[in-house]
Chain A
Amino acid sequence: MIWEDIRIEDIDADQWANFFSLFARAERDDPRDAASGASRRRVLVIHRGGTVLRIVPAGEGIEHHGLAPLADLSEIRRRVGARQVIALEVDALRRIMARAQRGFDHDADFVDQLLIWYEALRAEMGDGIRLDPPAGRLSSVNVALARRLFRFFFTRPQVLAFYVMDGAAVHSSIILGLRDGMVTRLTTHEALEARGFEMQWGLPDAPRIVAELSRRYAPVRLGVFLDVATWDRCWRRGTERWREAIAAGEIVFEPAPLPVEFVVFLLKTLRSLAGRN
């Protein structure tokens, strides 16, 4: 699903940093931290057969807690004031690496290679690796199905675009080129701007951007455009906000795929019926 010689080019340094800040900002403001009273996000407890060898607060150096028996993980979490405790059996990493490397295939696609590591990790979850609060079981991933869908949707050359605007300027962007069921190109808006394309109005530029991308690379299958303030609001507050933003036209799909238009129509209709215009 990822081309061996994928081209990654024309990346603007600031917007690349901005792209990561979209997620970092959301994590920093995570209300769960305040709600739980936790002073740390994550603590690693290394043990051998239940005997604690070390407790390692993330990002704050190493603490010694001596050779204590592995107590209830919730108790450790409360005691060290963390949001999450990861209990790691001392040989678990070795087992994960051994399992992944035994099953490795250097001819495989990167996604398949990742899956080998994922399955090796999954095999340790709940045993060599335990979490508190407990995480749901890691699901088995059907890569074969994903690949078939990828091939079905992205056989012909086409482009996916994701733009986050900051007023009339681009905050960050990701443009993917696809062909034969593979991601073959990763670039950003700089690929256009370097060749004379000038942003004029921000979000309303979406049709022009899509036309330019189609002219330069391949038809745009889907472009998603939104403002950074909308992103922040939706990313932090969850599914309902995304629906509202789509319905309010704050997230622009260009060209608008039929299912999305239908969803927007439905949401607008429902909102009208509810008297919330």
Chain B
Amino acid sequence: MSVEITSRGIRVGGEEMPLVSGTIHYWRLERDAWEPCLDRVAEMGFRIVETYVPWSVHEVEPGRFDFGETDARKDVAAFARLVQSKGLKLLVRPGPHINAEITYFGYPKRLFADPRLLARTADGTPAVLPAFPRMFPVPSYASEVFYDEARVYLEAAAHLLAPLQYPEGPIVGVQTDNEMSFFFRTALFDLDYADGSIWMYRRAVERRYGEVADMNRVYGTSFRDFEELDPPRRFDPDRGFGIAYWLDWAAHKESLLRYGLRRIAEILRTAGLDRVPVTHNFPPISPGSPVDIPSAERDLDVVGVDLYSKREDYRFVRMISRYLAGSSRLPYVPEFSSGCYLWWKPITFHDQRFTTWTPFMHGLRAINFYMIVDRERWYGAPVARDGRVRARYFELFKTFHRVLARSGILSKRKKTPVLVLNDVDYGRLELATSLLDPAPPIVLEALGLAEGRVCSEDALGFSKPIQLENPRIGARIAKSLDAAQIPFDQAPTTVDPARLGRYGCVVLPTFEFLDTGVQELLVDHAREGGTVVIGPLIPDRDPAGTPSRAIEDALEAPLGGLPSDVPGASGFALGKGRVVVLNDPDAALGDGNGLWARLGIDAPVRWRGRGVDATLFEPEPGAEGTRIVFIANPTDRAVRARVDLAGAQGARELIGDTDVDMKDLYLDPYTIRILEIAE
């Protein structure tokens, strides 16, 4: 492959370039507007553009497509050639799901008349997506009929686009589907109870347990064979099922999403789009089941998470960015709001000026601005549909490209000593115990009724309800690290084990059960010299209830002194490293204890200023270059701040391109300043 994803962007031929792009929808523009729009995009500094290639737009009748033969605006090949003539590269997203605020999300309406390809709810009805301007029943990604239909279109599109791949053409990447997440209906017992999905679930359970008797023992059920196995359809703690019954259904749903991504990617590759990386974008929801980036990247080249955020959402953007930095081979936001669709909270220029830099501050390395040219059902792009420029936005992007190049942050390393892991099984339990199932959290948040999941308080036989304790302790750890000004990344426990070596310290809240593989992952990290922080309990079984004491069995002598003199904590040697158990996390993480400092984990940069946040980037070992400090004021009040960084002699602020005094920085509300450090 002459095009490949790297940890810093995309290598095209011999050149590694930033994966920084902007979206333009060719079919929504008049044909004679393509050229002026592309010229303006290039003037802003973009080198890559991105577009959907929608099924419903191109399909004239089943099996017959208009790729410009009738309607000149639909000539995607001509658009690609024009992109190439402007010296730009192109990412294509042929769906089949595209959303794009198109009626029916890019699926031809005729599909919905065939019940064989529809997803099913726990009650057996088709699952309806309440979308404007028409609601529709969503397809099942376990349906072979659906893939048969989609293949006809995807092959037609791929045959057209394949000759336009680099180096003959401008195409340097293809995306499989869009925001794969059961259409935002992420509640565990909502979708997908279609026949194909249940068949796949039974096969997965059969592979896992081998014998139906073993399954029944773990589940607490009495099915006679795997064909009789019925998936859970609601959380019902009183029936005495083993938790594996719930967790395995959640695991199946995660694998069903990955299956869908893989199937579509295979169709595209087989049809000729096989010389460029395959990407995907998960929707802008909190990471956790069913979204799992490390697992998805085992099949695809890079997988990101979309973001549509206001400036007040700083913490959410930071959390997603940390998650991407800890999980993905290239931390990537495939859709970052450049403007917004109308049925979301309004995103203004002031939001965008602040939020554009926030993910980069916390480790993002690739981005696609959605949309860079305006279109119907959208507002706020820097270029209007006829090629006119919206001056403020246009200048924002010119500055963005200038500062990105000058700072060199995409080739620098964010100093991050800690990785906070989130165990996928605890996340699945959280999902299973939601009291608002089948309503997805995104709906309740939008109505202002709840933040996050609202879980049952049932302890399910454990000492405390893990589904409540896990997020609570996770939040407590994050708060403690933030208070100590220690940057950290986040990842699920499905993370590539090789990544753990980048972090001196790995933290994971642990309870009675933990997958044996995850226990061994932590043991290996400590054995190689790392610090592992767990607790409040040392696991003694796996999720199926089988005894599993990989951590406990590996622990060596208790450590004297640090950190055992921290209240609520105890330490053990393990190989070249150590394991610290937070037996009482609330006590151990108390502000006055200085837990992290006593573990030898220091803040790479120090700052003062109410509500202020900062991160430090430095050249990779052996590379030359300056250090960069991001400092953000994510509050609605102006603050004075100071930055203390060993060896710094002065600083130049790159957005405003002025020298600044690091000891006395004035930060307007919701501003980020990027300081290039003079040594």
- Which residues in A have some Cβ–Cβ distance to B below 8 Å? 2-9, 11-14, 16-17, 19-20, 41-42, 44, 46, 53-54, 56, 58-62, 64, 66-67, 86, 90-91, 93-94, 97-98, 100-102, 104, 106, 110, 113, 117, 194
Q: How far is the CB of B613 from chain A (nearest CB, A)?
A: 21
- Please give, as numbers and ranges, the residues of chain B lying within 8 Å of A62 by CB-CB distance: 450-452, 454
Q: Report yes or no: A113 in contact with B384, Cβ–Cβ below 8 A.
A: no
Q: How far is the CB of B236 from chain A (nearest CB, A)?
A: 11
23 A-B contact pairs sorted by A residue (CB < 8 Å):
A4-B134, A9-B385, A13-B380, A14-B348, A14-B349, A42-B448, A42-B449, A54-B454, A56-B454, A59-B448, A59-B451, A62-B452, A64-B468, A93-B438, A93-B439, A94-B438, A97-B121, A97-B438, A101-B125, A101-B126, A102-B123, A102-B125, A110-B133
- Starting from the known contacts A11-B342, A42-B449, 4 additional A-B residue pairs (CB-CB under 8 Å) come to A4-B134, A58-B448, A98-B121, A100-B128
Of the listed stretches B33-41, B266-274, B371-379, B639-647, chain A binds B371-379
- Please give, as numbers and ranges, the residues of chain A lying within 8 Å of B127 by CB-CB distance: 101
User: Complex formed: what's the CA distance from A12 to B348 in Å?
Assistant: 9
- Please give, as numbers and ranges, the residues of chain A lying within 8 Å of B348 by CB-CB distance: 13-14, 17
Q: Report yes or no: B379 in contact with A11, Cβ–Cβ below 8 A.
A: yes
**Contacts A42-B449, A104-B128, A194-B384 hold; do A9 and B136 have CB atoms under 8 A apart?**
no
Q: Does B130 contact A (CB under 8 A)?
A: yes
Q: Report yes or no: B342 in contact with A104, Cβ–Cβ below 8 A.
A: no
Name the contact of B135 in the complex, choosing from A91, A97, A110, A194 (C-beta under 8 A).
A110
Q: Report yes or no: B435 in contact with A53, Cβ–Cβ below 8 A.
A: yes
Q: How far is the CB of B459 from chain A (nearest CB, A)?
A: 12
Q: Report yes or no: A16 in contact with B451, Cβ–Cβ below 8 A.
A: no
Q: Report yes or no: B379 in contact with A46, Cβ–Cβ below 8 A.
A: no
Cβ-closest 6 pairs across A and B: A11-B379, A13-B380, A17-B346, A9-B376, A101-B125, A113-B135
Q: How far is the CB of B128 from chain A (nearest CB, A)?
A: 5
Name the contact of B112 in the complex, choosing from A14, A91, A101, A106 (C-beta under 8 A).
A106
Name the contact of B457 in the complex, choosing from A9, A12, A67 (C-beta under 8 A).
A67
Q: Report yes or no: B128 in contact with A101, Cβ–Cβ below 8 A.
A: yes
- Please give, as numbers and ranges, the residues of chain B lying within 8 Å of A6 by CB-CB distance: 133
Q: Does B388 contact A (CB under 8 A)?
A: yes
Q: Report yes or no: A46 in contact with B436, Cβ–Cβ below 8 A.
A: yes
Q: Report yes or no: B133 in contact with A53, Cβ–Cβ below 8 A.
A: no
User: Complex formed: what's the CA distance from A158 to B348 in Å?
Assistant: 31
**Contacts A54-B435, A194-B388 hold; do A5 and B135 have CB atoms under 8 A apart?**
no
The residue on A at minimum CB distance from B457 is: A64
The residue on A at minimum CB distance from B122 is: A94
The residue on B at minimum CB distance from A185 is: B376
Contact with A along B437-453 (1 / 0, CB 8 A): 11100000000111110
Q: Once A and B bind, how many residue pairs between them come within 8 Å at the CB atom?
A: 128
- Which residues in B have some Cβ–Cβ distance to A below 8 Å? 103, 109, 112, 121-123, 125-128, 130, 132-137, 190, 234, 339-340, 342, 345-349, 375-380, 384-386, 388, 435-439, 448-452, 454-457, 468
- Please give, as numbers and ranges, the residues of chain B lying within 8 Å of A2 by CB-CB distance: 133
Q: How far is the CB of B384 from chain A (nearest CB, A)?
A: 7
- Please give, as numbers and ranges, the residues of chain A lying within 8 Å of B125 by CB-CB distance: 98, 101-102, 104
Main secondary structure of the interface of A (DSSP, over half): mixed
- Please give, as numbers and ranges, the residues of chain A lying within 8 Å of B375 by CB-CB distance: 9
Name the contact of A117 in the complex, choosing from B130, B190, B448, B451 (C-beta under 8 A).
B130
- Which of A9, A11, A54 is the most central at the interface, judged by chain B CB atoms within 10 Å of its CB? A11
Q: Report yes or no: B133 in contact with A86, Cβ–Cβ below 8 A.
A: no
Q: Report yes or no: A106 in contact with B136, Cβ–Cβ below 8 A.
A: yes
- Please give, as numbers and ranges, the residues of chain A lying within 8 Å of B380 by CB-CB distance: 11, 13, 16
**Contacts A8-B377, A9-B377, A101-B125 hold; do A3 and B133 have CB atoms under 8 A apart?**
yes
- Please give, as numbers and ranges, the residues of chain A lying within 8 Å of B342 by CB-CB distance: 8, 11, 16
Q: How far is the CB of A73 from chain B (nearest CB, A)?
A: 16
The residue on A at minimum CB distance from B111 is: A106
User: Complex formed: what's the CA distance from A4 to B112 in Å?
Assistant: 15
**Contacts A9-B376, A62-B452, A100-B128 hold; do A106 and B435 have CB atoms under 8 A apart?**
no
User: Complex formed: what's the CA distance from A19 to B343 in Å?
Assistant: 13
User: Complex formed: what's the CA distance from A117 to B437 in Å?
Assistant: 17
The residue on B at minimum CB distance from A11 is: B379
- Please give, as numbers and ranges, the residues of chain A lying within 8 Å of B378 by CB-CB distance: 11
User: Complex formed: what's the CA distance from A66 to B379 in Å?
Assistant: 46
- Please give, as numbers and ranges, the residues of chain A lying within 8 Å of B126 by CB-CB distance: 101, 104
Name the contact of A61 in the complex, choosing from B134, B234, B384, B451 (C-beta under 8 A).
B451
User: Complex formed: what's the CA distance from A60 to B451 in Å?
Assistant: 8
User: Complex formed: what's the CA distance from A16 to B340 in Å?
Assistant: 10
Q: How far is the CB of A39 from chain B (nearest CB, A)?
A: 15
- Please give, as numbers and ranges, the residues of chain A lying within 8 Å of B437 by CB-CB distance: 93-94
Q: Report yes or no: A46 in contact with B435, Cβ–Cβ below 8 A.
A: yes
The residue on B at minimum CB distance from A113 is: B135
The residue on A at minimum CB distance from B190 is: A97
Q: Report yes or no: B457 in contact with A54, Cβ–Cβ below 8 A.
A: yes
- Please give, as numbers and ranges, the residues of chain A lying within 8 Å of B130 by CB-CB distance: 113, 117
The residue on B at minimum CB distance from A96 is: B439
- Which of B126, B346, B375 is the most central at the interface, judged by chain A CB atoms within 10 Å of its CB? B346
**Contacts A11-B342, A16-B379, A64-B457 hold; do A4 and B133 have CB atoms under 8 A apart?**
yes
Name the contact of A4 in the complex, choosing from B103, B349, B452, B457 (C-beta under 8 A).
B103
- Please give, as numbers and ranges, the residues of chain B lying within 8 Å of A8 by CB-CB distance: 342, 376-377
Q: How far is the CB of B44 from chain A (nearest CB, A)?
A: 17
Q: How far is the CB of B520 from chain A (nearest CB, A)?
A: 33
- Please give, as numbers and ranges, the residues of chain A lying within 8 Å of B349 by CB-CB distance: 13-14
Q: Report yes or no: B439 in contact with A97, Cβ–Cβ below 8 A.
A: yes
- Please give, as numbers and ranges, the residues of chain A lying within 8 Å of B455 by CB-CB distance: 54
Q: Report yes or no: B450 in contact with A44, Cβ–Cβ below 8 A.
A: yes
User: Complex formed: what's the CA distance from A100 to B133 in Å?
Assistant: 17
Q: How far is the CB of A157 from chain B (nearest CB, A)?
A: 18
User: Complex formed: what's the CA distance from A135 to B375 in Å?
Assistant: 41
User: Complex formed: what's the CA distance from A106 to B234 in Å?
Assistant: 27
User: Complex formed: what's the CA distance from A19 to B448 in Å?
Assistant: 20
Q: Report yes or no: A56 in contact with B449, Cβ–Cβ below 8 A.
A: yes
The residue on B at minimum CB distance from A186 is: B342
The residue on A at minimum CB distance from B233 is: A94
- Please give, as numbers and ranges, the residues of chain A lying within 8 Å of B377 by CB-CB distance: 8-9
Q: Report yes or no: A104 in contact with B135, Cβ–Cβ below 8 A.
A: yes
Q: Report yes or no: A13 in contact with B376, Cβ–Cβ below 8 A.
A: no
User: Complex formed: what's the CA distance from A100 to B377 in Å?
Assistant: 27
Name the contact of B234 in the complex, choosing from A41, A94, A97 (C-beta under 8 A).
A94
Q: Report yes or no: A12 in contact with B379, Cβ–Cβ below 8 A.
A: yes
User: Complex formed: what's the CA distance from A14 to B128 in Å?
Assistant: 33
- Which of A7, A58, A106, A117 is the most central at the interface, judged by chain B CB atoms within 10 Å of its CB? A106
Q: How far is the CB of A13 from chain B (nearest CB, A)?
A: 4
Q: How far is the CB of A97 from chain B (nearest CB, A)?
A: 6
- Please give, as numbers and ranges, the residues of chain A lying within 8 Å of B234 by CB-CB distance: 91, 94
User: Complex formed: what's the CA distance from A264 to B339 in Å?
Assistant: 41
User: Complex formed: what's the CA distance from A11 to B376 in Å?
Assistant: 9
Q: How far is the CB of B69 from chain A (nearest CB, A)?
A: 21
The residue on B at minimum CB distance from A6 is: B133
Q: How far is the CB of A204 from chain B (nearest CB, A)?
A: 27
User: Complex formed: what's the CA distance from A46 to B436 in Å?
Assistant: 8
The residue on B at minimum CB distance from A102 is: B125
Q: How far is the CB of B2 from chain A (nearest CB, A)?
A: 39
Q: Report yes or no: B450 in contact with A106, Cβ–Cβ below 8 A.
A: no
Q: Report yes or no: B449 in contact with A53, Cβ–Cβ below 8 A.
A: no
The residue on B at minimum CB distance from A9 is: B376
Q: Report yes or no: A58 in contact with B449, Cβ–Cβ below 8 A.
A: yes
- Please give, as numbers and ranges, the residues of chain B lying within 8 Å of A11 by CB-CB distance: 342, 378-380
The residue on A at minimum CB distance from B339 is: A13
- Which of A94, A102, A113 is the most central at the interface, judged by chain B CB atoms within 10 Å of its CB? A94
- Please give, as numbers and ranges, the residues of chain B lying within 8 Å of A97 by CB-CB distance: 121, 190, 438-439
- Please give, as numbers and ranges, the residues of chain B lying within 8 Å of A101 by CB-CB distance: 121, 123, 125-128
**Contacts A17-B346, A93-B436 hold; do A66 and B457 have CB atoms under 8 A apart?**
yes
